[in-house]
């Protein structure tokens, strides 16, 4: 029972957040855009749920039932994704500055990335 609840948790959040984005799209861009966003939300949510039910390493991670090895791979993949996202934010900041465009979105993501890294370093160092 507990595994089923864990497997449903992420797709449920995906559905709620995707539907909220669809509502925002409706307000900002009309029903056609909102319908497209909702269709992508439904497809992604169903795909994630189906993938989580598979008997594979990826299925175990997606379905919230990883073993230690899979959890280690997931943690390294998350760290790699964070490094890439921070690098993209910094490159975007440099490009936006060179073009004379607004730089605040890139500065915001860079600052939040750096601050969360520092907070995580301090917090995890204190715990263990």
- 9-55 pLDDT, tens digit each: 888 999 999 999 999 999 999 999 999 999 999 999 999 888 887 77
Dist CA 46 CA 39 (whole Å): 11
Q: Which two tokens stand for residue 121?
A: 């370093």
5-12's contacts with Cβ under 8 Å and 24+ in sequence apart are 6/63, 6/64, 6/65, 7/49, 7/52, 7/53, 7/63, 7/64, 7/65, 8/49, 9/64, 10/48, 10/52, 10/62, 10/64, 11/45, 11/46, 11/48, 11/49, 11/52
> Helices 104-127 and 68-99: crossing angle, nearest 10°?
150
Percent of the chain with pLDDT over 70: 94
Q: What is the pLDDT of residues 89-127, one digit of tens each?
A: 999 999 999 999 999 999 999 899 889 988 988 888 877
**What 3-state class would DSSP assign to 82?**
helix
């Amino acid at each position: 029972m507990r595994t089923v609840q864990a497997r449903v948790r992420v797709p449920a959040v995906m559905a709620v957040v995707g539907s909220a984005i669809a509502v925002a799209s409706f307000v900002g861009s009309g029903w056609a855009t909102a319908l497209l966003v909702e269709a992508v939300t439904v497809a992604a949510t169903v795909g994630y749920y189906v993938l989580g039910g598979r008997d594979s390493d990826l299925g175990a991670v997606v379905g919230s039932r990883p073993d230690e090895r899979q959890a280690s791979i997931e943690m390294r993949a998350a760290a790699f994704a964070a490094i890439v996202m921070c690098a993209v934010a910094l490159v975007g900041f440099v490009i936006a500055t060179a073009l004379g465009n607004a730089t605040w979105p890139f500065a915001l993501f860079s600052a939040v990335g750096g601050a969360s890294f520092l907070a995580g370093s301090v917090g995890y160092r204190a715990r263990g």
